[in-house]
Amino acid sequence: MDTDALLAWYDRVRRPLPWRDTRDPYALLVSEVMLQQTQALRVVPYYERWLARFPDAPALARAPARAVLEAWSGLGYNRRALALQSAARVVAESGWPDDLTELPGVGPYTAAAVASFAWDRQEAAIDTNVRRVLERREGRFSRGRVEQLLPPGRAATFNQAMMELGATVCRPRAPRCGECPVAAGCGGFAAKPRRTGAPPFEQTDRFARGRVVAALVAGEPVPEVGERILAGLERDGLIVRMNGRVRLP
């Protein structure tokens, strides 16, 4: 892969996403948690409102759980908000650990992304977009291969460029191969997307769980979703049930 061509392309076309203009590890952690399984443009308004309300780790750490869920409501996967607050409590009390995976809810990808973007650590941040680019180019994925491609001192820019390439050009469906800056030597889009037979979103547990939290945030009656959904929300710390009533924690 021509890394210089990739970086030059990224410099020309990079989207002006707000988290790309900060080195604040807290703001970057917020963005990475919000971006999990959520499109970037949908995250932008949530990210900006969140930082206005909880500008740093201590502010988030001391916030009531209800306020945290209110600010998150609509993004989906509400337990990510509580995990983010748990991480903020650790940071507020003890500072940032050298190994960011020690923070609640932070896995290897998020740790590498925050470390490279905030502190210029020479680490490869490998998300689904980066994995897809490498699998298509070389017919397989290898973490070692991504690490070999990291340009000295420019891991942060390389990570952003690879994510941008996967999100906007080397997409899961209908890839724009003619616009790819590193098309030379690529194995191409080898297979058509497989049909998963997944149910409509409105029939998923995620949708039902989101309806419950959104209703509680709005002060509306809890919809009929069944015991299994309520039990799962209670187990995840997203609701409290007492004397037949359901409320936010």
Residues 135 and 206 in one domain: no
Does some domain include residue 191?
no
Does some domain include residue 101?
yes
Does some domain include residue 194?
no
Q: Out of 98-107, 202-211, 227-236, give the one with best mean pLDDT.
A: 98-107
DSSP 196: -
Does some domain include residue 219?
yes
The answer to whether 38 and 214 have CB atoms below 8 angstroms apart is no
Residues 7 and 79 in one domain: yes
User: What does the pLDDT look like over 52-65, one tens digit per residue?
Assistant: 999 999 999 999 99
User: What does the pLDDT look like over 163-211, one tens digit per residue?
Assistant: 999 999 999 888 999 999 999 888 775 444 444 455 676 778 877 888 8
Does some domain include residue 78?
yes
Give me the pLDDT at residue 198, please.
Answer: 59
Domain assignment of residue 40, given as a range: 3-179
Say yes or no to pLDDT of 66 above 50. yes
Residue with tokens 């989101």: 210
Residues 173 and 206 in one domain: no
Give me the pLDDT at residue 191, please.
Answer: 41
Distance CA 66, CA 12 (A): 42
Distance CA 249, CA 240 (A): 6
CB neighbour list of residue 16: distance below 8 Å, 6 or more residues apart: none
pTM of the predicted model as reported, rounded to 2 decimal places: 0.81
Residues 205 and 149 in one domain: no
Give me the pLDDT at residue 226, please.
Answer: 79
Residues 72 and 171 in one domain: yes
pLDDT > 90: what percent of the chain? 59
- Tell me the pLDDT band of 8, cut-offs 50, 70 and 90: very high
Residues 126 and 168 in one domain: yes
Residues 96 and 155 in one domain: yes
The mean of the pLDDT values for the chain is: 89
Give me the pLDDT at residue 20, please.
Answer: 95
Mean of the pLDDT values across residues 103-127? 95
Beta bridge partners of 155: none
Residues 164 and 225 in one domain: no
Does some domain include residue 155?
yes
Say yes or no to pLDDT of 16 above 70. yes
Total number of domains in the chain: 2
Does some domain include residue 231?
yes
Residues 158 and 215 in one domain: no
Give me the pLDDT at residue 197, please.
Answer: 56
Please identify which of the residues 32, 70, 123, 164 carries the catalytic annotation.
Answer: 32
Say yes or no to pLDDT of 73 above 50. yes
Does some domain include residue 184?
no
DSSP 92: H
- Which CATH number covers residue 139? 1.10.340.30
Residues 38 and 125 in one domain: yes
**Catalytic residue flag (residue 32):** yes
Residues 61 and 26 in one domain: yes
